[in-house]
Amino acid sequence: MLEEVRQLASVAVAEIEAVQDDKALEALRVHHLGRKSRLRQIARQIGHLPAAQRPALGEATGRAQQAIQQALDDKALALRQLAEAAPALDVTLPGRRPLLGYAHPLSQLTDELISIFQGMGFDVADGPEAEDEYHNFDALNTPADHPARDLHDTFYLEGGGLMRTHTSTVQIRVMEQTPPPVRIISLGRCYRKETVDATHHFAFHQIEGLYVDRGVSFADLKGTIEAMGRQLMGAETQVRFRPHFFPFTEPSVEYDFTCICKRQRANCSICKGTGWIEIAGAGMVDPAVFTAVGYDPNEYTGFAFGMGLERIAMIRHGIDDVRRFLENDLRFIRQF
């Protein structure tokens, strides 16, 4: 039993010297000197031993307890000195500022366009991204044999339906539910089977505008596009209209803005020295579209226009790769 007492003291001192915090030190005190400790159990057995054995065991037990207590005191002092030497927390110092978020450039452009068109009296409308063929094609005067309806160009869904290829679907849904006059814009994500590269992506954002009323003319369309261009790209921006074809408008045009280089750089990487930037398409709503939604084409006229948000953002900020918008790189977003 004497050897056990010496072994208990040796183990206890070694464990105490290795401890690194006050909580662990207190746990060792309870384990080695507490009422249920093995050393206390031995001490309680001394009175039951023969008289000749009691003095030696009592002395050994006392020395073991003293050694353990001394080790506990020395370690407590060392931990206290270590804590006092550590840098103190200055509660008067200002706190760390939280990491601030940044608005995505497409979100900023969306908000700006909404503000511009609301200033012209347009309302904002929304619609589903998962659509049916009627609202995406048929009601927009796009025949069944049109290339846009091919499996190579459109994402079709199992069980029917498709992912909308443009936000013009919202115009159809609004006209189905709202009698004229209608003056709306719709913004959102669209999907097409594109090979992803620096200028193309299978997911992109569009804004579409629609104005229907009695007496709406092509002059109204031109005025709206010109006002939008000047507010978006600068007061000196000019607009050029070129004849084009779209199945849902007649007549149809594509429109260009003067380049941000102001026609001063022959080697401009944006306009290639032409001085003009191709923006998007527009036109007067085709009578067949009015018929599909129950409007009388003999009583009402209207115009529609659209453009891709990524293209505008790339032009305004000099971004050379459309994929950057979807990379979730905070270094990119912080620039705006």
CB atoms within 10 A of CB 84: 8
Q: Is the dihedral of CA 260, 263, 265, 269 positive or negative?
A: positive
Question: Which one, of 43, 12, 7, 53, lies nearest residue 30 by Cα?
Answer: 12
Distance CA 294, CA 164 (A): 22
Question: Which one, of 127, 232, 335, lies nearest residue 327 by Cα?
Answer: 335
Say yes or no: domain 106-333 is CATH 3.90.480.20. no
Distance CA 131, CA 147 (A): 18
Residue/partner pairs of 96-102 with CB below 8 Å, 24 or more apart: 102/330, 102/333, 102/334, 102/336
Provide the token pair at 190.
Answer: 């669209």
pTM of the model: 0.69
**What residues form DSSP beta bridges with 283?**
252, 304
Report the SS3 class of residue 285. Answer: strand
Per-residue pLDDT of the chain (336 residues; tens, 9 = 90+): 777 778 888 888 888 888 888 898 888 888 888 888 887 887 787 777 787 777 777 787 788 888 888 988 888 888 888 888 878 777 888 888 888 888 999 999 999 999 999 999 999 999 999 999 999 999 999 888 877 677 668 899 998 899 999 999 999 999 999 999 999 999 999 999 888 888 889 999 999 999 999 999 999 999 999 999 999 988 888 999 999 999 999 999 999 988 877 766 677 777 777 888 889 999 999 999 999 999 999 999 999 999 999 989 988 888 888 899 988 888 888 888
